[in-house]
Amino acid sequence: MTTSLGFEKPVLELEQQIQELRARAAETGLEVGAELAELERKADGLRREIYAGLTPFQRVQLAKHPRRPFSLDYIQACFTDWTELAGDRHFADDPAMLTGLALLEGRPVMIVGQQKGRDTKENLHRRFGMSNPEGYRKALRLMKLAERFSVPVVTLVDTPGAFPGLGAEERGQAEAIAVNLREMARLRVPIVTIVIGEGGSGGALGIAVANVVLMFENSIYSVISPEGCAAILWRDRARAPDAAEALKLTATDLLRLEIVEGVLPEPLGGAHRDPEAAAATLKAALIAQLDALAALSPDELVEQRLARYRKMGVYREAAG
């Protein structure tokens, strides 16, 4: 692995020793089976110990891991006949937002996903997964097309937030997201959202008004990043771990608070450790959820979606 997080280093050092021992054995023909078995036993135990006790901020770090599978990785692994459709028909295309048709085990679906880059050049092209207004307008255009042909919508959320540039604000960033919230709420086809990495603020919610929202185990979903929250509240980004604890942004927190309907397990150490296994989990979850939603009529889909959001939060009605 070319990238490691601080708390992963003890495991990675053991894994490096295992690789070096195997290479040395292959070169020299030495019998190292017992030594290898002992190192692998230690590495497995250490993995389980570390990843069973992750703090909220460590899960934030995993959600942002640069080797984590992105939307396009899941699209290629889980779907067939992917055909990307581009442009908002108003201003431009937005490479931070993927949209297109594909087949999920023979079932047509419309996919909307936020896409980051693997290197500096691609991240600049994709703006680190942060969409301009035209990205949200493109997403809505394609969701409306899906509605016209009774095709379910699958959205993959992975963004720090909507792009905060001057041009984005001039072209109506807030309005574009607000329109998406309104129109997705009354879309007459099933919508399933999966948070695959970062679910940041309105940038995430702009494609996440769904009948069912699922999260990967090490993904996050929050109104603000821990770093941004710490900078505002304490004027100290170093207090991001405190903010992560207070924000209740982990998958288990949000499941307990009934903000999401389910948590998808990840391979030990995170989705980036075994992307194929993570993709298989996502695919199975999508099939199950779309099968269940297929039993609802268009009117029932809209009512279920509205009821889902009405029940969120805690409030008290005042007399008179």
304 found inside a domain: yes
* Sign of the CA dihedral running 230, 236, 241, 245: negative
Instruction: Specify the residue for token string 């394609």.
Output: 142
318 found inside a domain: no
Domain shared by 103 and 41, yes or no: no
Q: Which helix (H) or strand (E) holds 264?
A: strand 262-264
Domain shared by 40 and 71, yes or no: no
**279: helix, strand or coil:** helix
Alpha carbon of 100 to those of 75, 133, 197, 224, 290: distances in Å?
10, 18, 20, 28, 18
218 found inside a domain: yes
320 residues of the chain, pLDDT tens digit each: 456 677 877 888 888 888 887 887 777 777 777 777 878 888 788 888 888 889 999 999 999 999 999 999 999 999 999 999 999 999 999 999 999 999 999 999 999 999 999 999 999 999 999 999 999 999 999 999 999 999 999 999 999 999 999 999 999 999 999 999 999 999 999 999 999 999 999 999 999 999 999 999 999 999 998 999 999 999 999 999 999 999 999 999 999 999 999 999 999 889 998 999 999 999 999 999 999 999 999 999 999 999 999 998 777 788 76
Domain shared by 112 and 244, yes or no: yes
**R_g of the chain, CA atoms, integer Å:** 21
Domain shared by 45 and 65, yes or no: no
Q: What CATH number corresponds to the domain at position 200?
A: 3.90.226.10
Contact (Cβ atoms closer than 8 angstroms) between residue 180 and residue 97:
no
Instruction: Specify the residue for token string 């905060």.
Output: 164
Domain shared by 49 and 119, yes or no: no
Domain shared by 47 and 113, yes or no: no
Instruction: Specify the residue for token string 């016209």.
Output: 148
Instruction: Specify the residue for token string 């020299």.
Output: 28
For 35, list phi and psi in degrees, rounded to 5.
-65, -40
315 found inside a domain: no
Domain shared by 66 and 15, yes or no: no
| Residue 2: per-residue pLDDT | 52
Q: What is the 3-state secondary structure (H, E, C) of 68-125?
A: CCCHHHHHHHHCEEEEECCCCCCCCCCCCEEEEEEEECCEEEEEEEECCCCCHHHHHH
| Residue 202: per-residue pLDDT | 93
Cα gap 105→124, rounded to integer Å: 34
Domain shared by 173 and 238, yes or no: yes
| Residue 1: per-residue pLDDT | 46
Domain shared by 161 and 200, yes or no: yes
Contact (Cβ atoms closer than 8 angstroms) between residue 196 and residue 225:
no
320 found inside a domain: no
Contact (Cβ atoms closer than 8 angstroms) between residue 137 and residue 171:
no
| Residue 3: per-residue pLDDT | 65
Domain shared by 38 and 173, yes or no: no
Domain range enclosing 45: 6-53
1 found inside a domain: no
Start-to-end CA distance of the chain, whole Å, equals 62
Cα gap 206→184, rounded to integer Å: 9
Number of structural domains the chain divides into? 2
149 found inside a domain: yes
Neighbouring C-alpha atoms within 13 Å toward the C-beta of 283: 20
Domain shared by 105 and 15, yes or no: no
Contact (Cβ atoms closer than 8 angstroms) between residue 121 and residue 300:
no
